[in-house]
């Protein structure tokens, strides 16, 4: 794991944190964290020699990251604590992340017996100020429980509950990144330890309806999801679910109208509304969608304007409802509507 790192660092350097944790657990290692004397130079050299893009990760702390295209996704180079590796490890969050391996040497440095916690499947804070020092760690503690199947020890859980009110102080994009990695059980655990309420979320039966990170966010936070720096796509998804109308039944017309307001997330909207029994009709309606419209706006012989859109929408609905089936029937309906006719 440290062969390439050894080629680019000068002097003392240590691999620390999650890479060693995952290697000891037999999990894929996708990120490296290297503590060394000259992070910028190491990152630039690594990117130049092995490929990737080097950029500052934290100007305040002097950390640099290399985004790679290989088996390892990122390599972070951070300044080694001036008092040595043990002082560096003391700044880490949990004992199983406070393990280090010196680059080019054998054996592990484990002053907080993190390997014992890996065997015992325990999340244990390195220091009593771990959550005050960085409130994001409140969410990380629960996320590690969720991902690894671990459990906080009593002291760590007590420290978390005492600091729970700080959780919203973390940067919004970092909070979102942790939430997106949680399962349903992870959200329930957030509720148990008091973090979910501090973030403005609550659990109900909808959270179990679909195994999807975005869906869980909407189910848990509702309209409050917009407090987070979500993408435009997730914003549209959330608004679609939150404003989805309740179908009055499985009729072809009703399903068509529901789809018009919820696609491409009609099935997700059904799950959000608690109406999975309409999944079949929605899927059948999708399969019945024509490859081409029966008529186009320029075939109606009308002046350009919103009236054309209204007529085409009616034609689409009547086709879906089965009251018309051919281009000729569509044109007859269009002429009727243009002359002031109506349809149900």
Strand pairing report for 63-67 and 74-79: antiparallel
3-state secondary structure of 209: coil
Given phi > 0 = left and psi -120 to 50 = alpha, else beta, which region is 81?
A: beta
| All domains in the chain, ordered by first residue | 1-120 (3.30.460.10), 122-243 (1.10.3090.10), 244-279 (no CATH), 297-338 (no CATH)
| Residue at token pair 């671990």 | 150
Residue 261 C-beta-side C-alpha neighbours within 13 Å: 15
Model pLDDT, residue 344: 46
| pTM of the predicted model over 0.85 | yes
Rounded CA gap, 20 and 149, in Å?
18
Residue 246 in tokens: 């309740």
CB 294 within 8 A of CB 326: yes
**Residue 320: CB partners within 8 Å, gap ≥ 6?**
252, 253, 255, 256, 285, 288
Q: What are the φ/ψ torsions at residue 191 (nearest 5 degrees)?
A: -65, -40
Residue 146 in tokens: 């969720």
Rounded CA gap, 206 and 66, in Å?
40
> How does pLDDT run along the chain (344 residues), one tens digit per residue?
678 888 888 889 999 989 999 999 999 998 999 999 999 999 999 999 988 999 998 777 789 999 987 778 899 999 999 999 999 999 999 999 999 999 989 899 999 999 999 999 999 999 999 999 999 999 999 999 999 999 999 999 999 999 999 999 999 999 999 999 999 999 999 999 999 999 999 999 999 999 999 999 999 999 999 999 999 999 999 999 999 999 999 999 999 999 999 999 999 999 999 999 999 999 999 999 999 988 888 888 888 888 899 999 999 999 999 999 999 999 999 989 888 755 54
- 87-127 pLDDT, tens digit per residue, is 999 999 999 999 999 998 989 999 999 999 999 999 999 99
């Amino acid at each position: 794991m440290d062969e390439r790192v050894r080629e680019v660092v000068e002097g003392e350097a240590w691999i620390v944190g999650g890479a060693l944790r995952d290697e000891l657990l037999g999990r894929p290692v996708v990120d490296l964290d290297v503590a060394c004397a000259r992070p910028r130079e190491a990152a630039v050299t690594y990117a130049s020699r092995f490929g990737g893009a080097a950029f500052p990760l934290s100007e305040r702390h002097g950390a640099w990251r290399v985004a790679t295209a290989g088996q390892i996704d990122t390599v972070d180079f951070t300044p080694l604590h001036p008092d040595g590796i043990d002082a560096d490890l003391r700044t880490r969050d949990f004992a199983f992340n406070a393990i280090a391996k010196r680059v080019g040497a054998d054996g592990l440095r484990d002053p907080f017996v993190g390997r014992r916690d890996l065997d015992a499947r325990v999340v244990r804070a390195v220091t009593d100020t771990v959550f005050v020092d960085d409130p994001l760690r409140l969410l990380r503690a629960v996320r590690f429980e969720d991902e690894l199947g671990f459990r906080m020890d009593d002291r760590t859980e007590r420290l978390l509950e005492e600091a729970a009110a700080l959780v919203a102080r973390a940067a919004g994009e970092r909070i979102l990144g942790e939430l997106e990695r949680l399962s349903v059980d992870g959200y329930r655990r957030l509720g148990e330890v008091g973090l979910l309420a501090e973030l403005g979320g609550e659990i109900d039966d909808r959270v179990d309806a679909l195994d999807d990170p975005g869906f869980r966010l909407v189910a848990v936070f509702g309209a409050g999801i917009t407090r987070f720096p979500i993408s435009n796509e997730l914003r549209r998804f959330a608004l679609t679910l939150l404003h989805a109308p309740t179908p009055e039944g499985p009729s072809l017309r009703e399903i068509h109208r529901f789809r018009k307001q919820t696609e491409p997330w009609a099935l997700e909207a059904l799950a959000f509304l608690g109406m999975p029994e309409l999944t079949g009709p929605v899927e059948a309606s999708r399969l019945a969608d024509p490859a081409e419209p029966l008529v186009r706006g320029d075939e109606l012989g009308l002046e350009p304007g919103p009236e054309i859109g209204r007529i085409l929408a009616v034609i689409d609905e009547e086709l879906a409802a089965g009251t018309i089936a051919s281009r000729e029937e569509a044109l007859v309906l269009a002429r009727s509507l243009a002359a002031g006719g109506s349809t149900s």
